[in-house]
Amino acid sequence: MGNSTICGKLPVIGVYHSSSEPSTAISALAHRISSHVSSEIILMGDVNLDWLTNASEGLKDLCTDLNFTQLISAPTRPDPANLEKATFLDLVLTNTPHNFKSSGVLPLDFCDHCPIACIRDVRQEKLKPRFIVKRTFKQLVEQDFLYDLSFSDIFSTTAIPDPCIALNYVIKICNSIADKHAPFKKLRIKNRSNPWFSSDVADMLCIRYMCITHNI
């Protein structure tokens, strides 16, 4: 497109597409915003492609490919002399339409284009907490666990010829001892989406915690 600007943590892209722009302008716009499609994007401006006609088919295909929704629902360049010639040139596109409370076209008498506007709901929905079940190791004493394990019937599995039955027997004994020293507990946690918190980060935090508790 002729001019486009990306600003702020929430990518808001202002676009002006001149009617003399080459046909490759749509693909250039797609390339520019492709690195931001994983987050919320607002694209708005004068595209000079009538949304009501086939002239905007390339832009509509882009919206379909990137899961964008067009929020403006009324023509933005009215023709008072002939209402049928009103055109739909100014658009607001977003990949998160559920975040917007309203949008529309504002009347303006001294310009051939009417300004467009949208209201975004900045309130975040409060998520209900989640409940998980996990073992708690707060009261675990390693020596007591090993003591109970050494005096269990786990070594009798050598007399079981079937390896599957022997394995299930070992798991049953280990679980019964683990339930005594590290029982399962229902925990309430905050229901937050933290895509950056990967399993690698969780493993490093566990190692850090072990180092702190054992003064390593």
pLDDT tens digit sequence for 128-145: 777 888 888 888 899 999
pLDDT given at position 65 = 80
Measured in degrees and rounded to the nearest 5, phi and psi for residue 211 equal -65, -40
Same domain, 64 and 136: no
Give the pLDDT mean for 98-111.
Answer: 84
Q: Are residues 108 and 196 in the same domain?
A: no
CB 157, CB 171: distance < 8 Å: no
Which of 97, 120, 143 lies at the terminal end of a domain, its last residue? 120
**Residue that is last in its domain, among 90, 120, 150:** 120
So what's the pLDDT on residue 183?
92
Same domain, yes or no: 116 and 172: no
Q: Which two tokens stand for residue 112?
A: 């051939």
The set of residues, in sequence order, having a beta carbon less than 8 Å from that of 28 and lying 6+ positions away, is 1
Nearest Cα to Cα of residue 26 among 50, 5, 57, 51:
57
Residues 149, 80 share a domain: no
* Number of domains, the chain: 2
For the segment 157-187, what is each residue's pLDDT rounded down to a tens digit?
A: 888 899 999 999 999 999 999 999 999 998 8
Q: How many CB atoms lie within 10 A of CB 64?
A: 9
Q: How far is CA 6 from the centre of its chain?
A: 20
CATH code of the domain in which 57 resides? 3.60.10.10
State the pLDDT confidence band at 1, using cuts at 50, 70 and 90. low
Instruction: Please indicate, yes or no, whether residues 195 and 92 belong to a single structural domain of this protein.
Output: no
Is residue 125 domain-resident?
A: no
In whole numbers, what is the pLDDT of the chain averaged over residues? 81
Question: Based on the domain organization, do 106 and 138 belong to the same domain?
Answer: no
CB 85 within 8 A of CB 53: no
Residue 94 · residue 45 · CB < 8 Å: no
Same domain, 180 and 140: yes
In a domain, 54, yes or no: yes
Domain range enclosing 161: 130-213
Tell me which of 89, 120, 151 is where a domain ends: 120
- Same domain for 136 and 96: no
Query: Does residue 40 lie within any of the structural domains?
Result: yes
pLDDT at 24: 72
When pLDDT is averaged across residues 5-20 and rounded to a whole number, the result is: 71
pLDDT band, very low/low/confident/very high, at 71 (cuts 50, 70, 90): very high
Residue 53 lies in a domain: yes
Q: Locate all alpha helices (DSSP H) within 41-139, ordered by sequence.
A: 57-66
For β-strands 42-46 and 69-70, DSSP reports them as: unpaired
For 15, counting Cβ atoms within 10 Å of its Cβ (0-12 exposed, 13-18 middle, 19+ buried), the class is buried
One domain, residues 76 and 113: yes
Query: Are 60 and 116 part of one and the same domain?
Result: yes
